[in-house]
Structure 1
Amino acid sequence: MAKKYASRFRLCHVKDRMKDAKPGDHDASCDVGTGVIDFAKVLKTASENGMQYYIVEQERYDNSTPLKSAEADAAYLKKLLI
């Protein structure tokens, strides 16, 4: 999709999904990079096709706080996007 609509979108939402999540579990988000999504591949393709901004969505903070999760998410995304 990123290739098909290259340069049309500059912003996207990202959300990772827990590895042990069951189908239909809508509250299974986790820190970006700790779940099942291959963000290295996804973000590389997105960036190569004009994506510039990423908004993290996360509803669950197991053993963490929203602030600590946001810091971890930002650090992971910076590592992949630089």
Structure 2
Amino acid sequence: MDEGPLGTAKQYDLRPTNADLAPPKGAQGRGNAWVRGQDGKIVGLFDYPGGLPGVFAQNVTDLELEDMTIRRPEPLPAGWNPAITVIW
């Protein structure tokens, strides 16, 4: 995968780690950002409707996507959305 023009991160993963899900008592910052509800699911984290797209945006206005390349595996893994972009 080619780096962007700034040579910075190629991808960003927002999923919580095990340390995020079981923080030590009194943890601050990211360590206490993930809270499980009574149903056992993480509060505020939801499944992508229709599966994982290349780009997902919800409640965004005036979104502009320029000079962007999205590479996805072929065939798509189970749970991935066939649509490259999903904008609600």
Q: Which has the higher contact order (CA 8 A, sep 6+)?
A: 1
Q: TM-score by structure 1 length?
A: 0.25
* Larger relative helix fraction: 1
Q: TM-score by structure 2 length?
A: 0.25
Higher Cα Rg, which structure? 2
